[in-house]
């Protein structure tokens, strides 16, 4: 899989061009962001996820695209796209909301958060991608990496943490003097080895989330009927 991101201001949006060779396949978790496609019509297959898939991926449908083919993903204004090559033994746990696409063949494993973490983040599951492959991530601004240490903690705004090593230790906290602690969002105190992935600002989620704001009946109709996403508002 080859990915080229058109350079441009994040405020104006971006485009990511993806090329799949014969025998390669990619899964796109935000199908509406596919703005152009070149290949056999049958090379794109959208499928309705089962209950477990909906809960894990927080999507109703995903697109499977097979090569040889090329397609372009539209990245909304205010978001950045980054492609990462994950090794087979990667231990990073991701918030699935930031994953736009990934290589078919990567294994997704659910990791339940601790109760204290889940209460704060309103999300019980983080996803681990193993087996090696390409991961395409969305973030609010350019994604950055920060090395963590086993003894010297790093403090990270809970809304800016995209991924962290499974072995890392997270504690909910604030820091600084009393005035500082009163004027900040809750942070994770993180210790361990490896790197964490951060975004520079909290998400606005300009990408429509079909799991929010609609009745179950409307959601099913929108995904099941032809052009349901256009007709049913």
Cα–Cα distance measured from residue 232 to residue 216, given in angstroms and rounded to the nearest whole number: 13
Q: What is the model's pLDDT at position 72? A: 94
**Residue (of 78, 82, 104, 62) closest to 16 by Cα position:** 82
Q: What is the model's pLDDT at position 49? A: 78
Length of the chain: 233
**Residue (of 95, 93, 189, 84) closest to 144 by Cα position:** 84
The SS3 call for residue 203 is: coil
Q: What is the model's pLDDT at position 173? A: 86
Q: What is the model's pLDDT at position 216? A: 47
- What does the pLDDT profile of the chain (233 residues) look like in tens digits? 999 887 665 666 788 999 999 999 999 998 989 999 999 999 999 988 766 666 667 677 889 999 899 999 998 888 889 999 999 889 999 988 889 999 998 988 888 777 766 666 666 778 899 888 999 998 888 889 999 999 999 999 988 899 999 999 988 888 888 888 888 888 899 999 999 999 988 766 545 443 344 444 455 555 555 545 545 54
What is the pTM (predicted TM-score) of this model?
Answer: 0.76
Cβ 228 vs Cβ 222: under 8 Å = yes
Structure token digits, residue 231: 């007709």
Cα separations in angstroms, 35 against 9, 16, 140, 151 = 19, 10, 20, 46
Tokens 């993903």 appear where?
73
Tokens 């080859």 appear where?
2
In this structure, the dihedral spanned by the alpha carbons of residues 219, 161, 165 and 197, taken in order and rounded to 10 degrees, is 110
Q: What is the model's pLDDT at position 184? A: 81
Q: What is the model's pLDDT at position 213? A: 42
Cα–Cα distance measured from residue 199 to residue 44, given in angstroms and rounded to the nearest whole number: 31
What DSSP character marks residue 57? H
Cβ 67 vs Cβ 39: under 8 Å = yes
């Amino acid at each position: 899989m080859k990915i080229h991101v058109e350079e441009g201001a994040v405020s104006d949006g971006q485009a990511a061009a993806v090329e799949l060779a014969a025998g390669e396949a990619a899964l796109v978790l935000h199908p509406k962001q596919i703005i152009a496609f070149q290949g056999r019509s049958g090379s794109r297959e959208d499928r309705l996820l089962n209950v477990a898939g909906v809960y894990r991926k927080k999507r109703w449908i995903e697109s499977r695209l097979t090569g040889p083919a090329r397609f372009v993903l539209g990245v909304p204004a205010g978001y950045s796209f980054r492609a990462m090559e994950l090794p087979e033994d990667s231990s990073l746990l991701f918030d699935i909301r930031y994953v736009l696409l990934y290589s078919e063949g990567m294994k997704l494993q659910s990791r339940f958060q601790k109760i204290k973490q889940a209460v704060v983040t309103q999300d019980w599951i983080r996803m681990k991608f193993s087996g090696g492959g390409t991961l395409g991530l969305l973030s609010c601004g350019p994604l950055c990496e920060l090395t963590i240490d086993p003894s010297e903690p790093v403090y990270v705004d809970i809304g800016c943490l995209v991924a962290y090593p499974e072995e890392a230790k997270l504690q909910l906290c604030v820091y600084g003097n009393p005035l500082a602690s009163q004027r900040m969002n809750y942070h994770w105190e993180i210790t361990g080895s490896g790197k964490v992935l951060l975004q520079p600002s909290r998400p606005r989620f300009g990408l429509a989330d079909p799991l929010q704001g609609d009745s179950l009946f409307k959601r099913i109709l929108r995904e099941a009927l032809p052009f349901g996403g256009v007709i049913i508002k």
